[in-house]
Amino acid sequence: MDDYASFARRGVARLLIGPLAALCLAVPVLAGPGERPDEKKEAAKVAKKMEKALATSEEREALRHFQEEVADYAELHAKQLAKLGAQDSLATQEALARAIEAKRAKAEPGDIFRPEVQPLFRRLIAEQLKGPDTLDARKAVVEGNPGLEEESVPIVVRVNAVYPLDAPRSTVPPSLLLTLPPLPSSLHYRFVGRDLILVDSVAQLIVDVLPAAAPDLATR
């Protein structure tokens, strides 16, 4: 990577790190100068929850690496989409998926959800989905979850697999989104069964998988 690309990547990573190194960086990531006050308020909630959640220096370091990997992917997504003209069409989605898959041909599970950050994600998710007070949040995750619906379109949960456009999509409850690290617009969190996946928002490509990320999702 040349010096300019390296500098750009580090810049994106710093924007995504949020409350890891400096709490003041978290709000600009999610709420720019032109955004509504309610968006800024929600961004502040994310920053506060994340600051409270990161109890150890090891967790902060693990999350920093996660944010850097996310920034690398966001840069790759932007470059490949720019080559395609960024048109909103099925052809663009399919072409982008092929281009990214080719660039990430050697990608493996855990490249972004590194082993050292996985316990942190599981803890944050459990805090929002475990216990009687989280029933509504569990119901939201279960509804439309292709890993829990018998008649759902089969989902191949692996890196570089395409998430079918006609497959249902689970909801990530707002309480959980306010707890997990924020993502760039090119990526979404999504559940398939108890697995948490990162999905490219345009290519609909599974970017990484965190197995058994959620606790028991029983709603009765």
pLDDT, one tens digit per residue, over 196-208 is: 999 999 999 999 9
More confident residue, 109 or 41: 109
Tokens (6 digits) for 159 = 């890196």
DSSP string for residues in 117-167: THHHHHHHHHHHHSSGGGHHHHHHHHTT-TTT-TTSPP---STT-B--TTS
Q: What is residue 209's three-state secondary structure? A: strand
Structure tokens at 12: 């994106």
Q: Say if residue 34's pLDDT is above 60.
A: no
Which among 76, 73, 78 is positioned nearest to 113, based on CA atoms? 73
Query: Which phi and psi (to 5°) does residue 157 adopt?
Result: -90, 90
Crossing angle for the helix pair 57-83 and 3-17, to the nearest 10 degrees = 120
Instruction: Please give the average per-residue pLDDT across 132-143, as a whole number.
Output: 90
Q: State residue 220's pLDDT score.
A: 67
For the entire predicted model, the pTM comes to 0.74
Please compute the mean of the pLDDT values over residues 178-195 and round it to a whole number: 94
pLDDT of res. 26: 33
Residue 38: both structure tokens together: 């309610």
Residues 6 or more apart whose Cβ sits within 8 Å of residue 83 = 99
Between 57-83 and 118-129, two packed helices, what is the crossing angle to 10 degrees?
Answer: 100
Q: What is the pLDDT of residue 194?
A: 93
135 vs 48: which has the higher pLDDT? 135
Cα separation of 132 and 155, whole Å? 29
Mean pLDDT of the region 157-165: 93
Q: Is the pLDDT of residue 87 over 50?
A: yes
Distances (CA, A) of 80 to 64, 74, 76, 85, 100: 25, 10, 6, 9, 7
pLDDT value at position 53?
A: 59
